[in-house]
Amino acid sequence: MNDPIQTGRLTLRPFTLEDVREAFGWFGDPVVMLYTPSGPDRDMAETTARIASYQRHQIERGFSKWIIADHNSGRPIGDAGLLFIPECDWVDFGYRLAKPYWGQGLATEAASAWVERAFGELKLSRLVSIVHPENRASIRVLEKLGFCEERRGVVMGMTSIVCCLTAPAAANHRRVP
């Protein structure tokens, strides 16, 4: 599954190594990465390693984190997608945008497209998303998509709300445009 996902304003596609410079813009931003367990990348070498791990995951699993690009300009503005977390035995669902793109509904648009792909083409039965209790914007996106709080605790070293969405719940939930 490498076919790009098109939405009204976005193109979601697998990462390439040509994306490193742009991606470091958000992966290296302490504000964008505040609620990410790994924290910000210290340099472009860390972003290169991150992207290489996403590419390996894509080959091994058929899905991964992908670039979110502006549909008109093609400019990378964030990332979204799925990662299998062996320590937790779940598929983690996540998204993030460079700061200039916050508050425009783009995270919801990208996330909604990934939910459709996850339960449609990929035929996954369940997605998990961990979110820091103070990350109100991400919590709102998850609520719009129908995710429900499963529990609270420390996950990957971060105080978290563990949210879950199952395929049947997603099918019964009103889709976000």
Judge whether 93 lies within some domain.
yes
Read off the CATH number of the domain in which 34 is found.
Answer: 3.40.630.30
Domain that residue 89 falls in: 5-124
Selection from 174, 118, 111 nearest residue 146 by Cα: 174
Position 176 pLDDT exceeds 60 = no
pLDDT on residue 173: 73
DSSP 40-73: --SSHHHHHHHHHHHHHHHHHHS--EEEEEETTT
Judge whether 139 lies within some domain.
no
Judge whether 165 lies within some domain.
no
Written as one letter, the residue type at 133 is: P
Q: 140 phi and psi, to 5 degrees?
A: -60, -40
Judge whether 101 lies within some domain.
yes
Judge whether 161 lies within some domain.
no
Write the pLDDT tens digit of every residue in 39-93: 999 999 999 999 999 999 999 999 999 999 999 999 999 999 999 999 889 999 9
Position 127 pLDDT exceeds 90 = yes
Judge whether 59 lies within some domain.
yes
pLDDT on residue 174: 59
Judge whether 39 lies within some domain.
yes
Total of domains in the chain: 1
How far is residue 11 from each of residues 7, 17, 69, 146, 157, measured CA to CA in Å?
Answer: 6, 17, 5, 23, 32
d(CA 69, CA 77): 5
Q: Are 113 and 145 in contact (CB under 8 A)?
A: no
Position 177 pLDDT exceeds 70 = no
pLDDT on residue 122: 95
Q: 126 phi and psi, to 5 degrees?
A: -155, 140
Q: Are 80 and 111 in contact (CB under 8 A)?
A: yes
Looking at residue 24, the DSSP 8-state letter turns out to be: H
Judge whether 71 lies within some domain.
yes
